Amino acid sequence: MSAAASVLSDDSTISRIDRGFFRFESFLNLAGGVAIFLLVLLATTNILGRWLFSKPISGYVDWVEQAMAFIAFLGIAYTQRQGGHIRMDLVVGHLHGRYLWFTECLSTLLMLAVTLVLIYGSSLHFWRAYSIGDSSLDINLPTWPAKLVVPFALSIFALRLLLQLWAYLRALRDGGDKPVAVPLPESAAEVAAREAISVGVLKDQGES
């Protein structure tokens, strides 16, 4: 299931770093949203051009292929901070306190290790495309910008994982159930209530 979560904050150093880094992650997530919006406009223009004037956009498929990297990767660190990635929590959902934070430390370490491998591989892929001047098949669009965004976004993701690992280790040392700078799991009822408040359902019920 998706780990819907809330993130607590205080005046500690790690919390200030978390909030500052989250602003940058939010900017990248917004950039991914803008890429989606521009892709929708491109698709609409392509369809209308083909239908009305029999002139589709040249290289439409090439542009879509390049945009996929921006759409898929720019929001990955933002989603991790919000606890929005899909995960199996049948076991983790029953853990509390230091047992939970120890498990989260292990899973975060595993994710970090996999991410570092992906950063290395995608960086080589980018450099190969840049050095040989790789381009798309239709309009010879350079492919290296889209391939560069993959190791860049994964590096931001790795920094987020390092920050969360720091927070989990801090929680493991101090104990407690409410550490800062990490997504705290919520029950289904809490998630439903928060989503209802966000769309104004609970407010409307209270007024009626």
| Confidence at 102, pLDDT banded by 50, 70, 90 | very high
Stated pTM of the model: 0.88
Residue 9 predicted with pLDDT over 70: yes
Q: Which residues contact 200 (CB under 8 A, 6 or more apart)?
A: none
How high does pLDDT run on average in the chain?
89
Residue 84 predicted with pLDDT over 90: no
Instruction: Give the model's pLDDT for residue 69.
Output: 96
Give dist(CA 20, CA 139) in Å, integer. Answer: 40
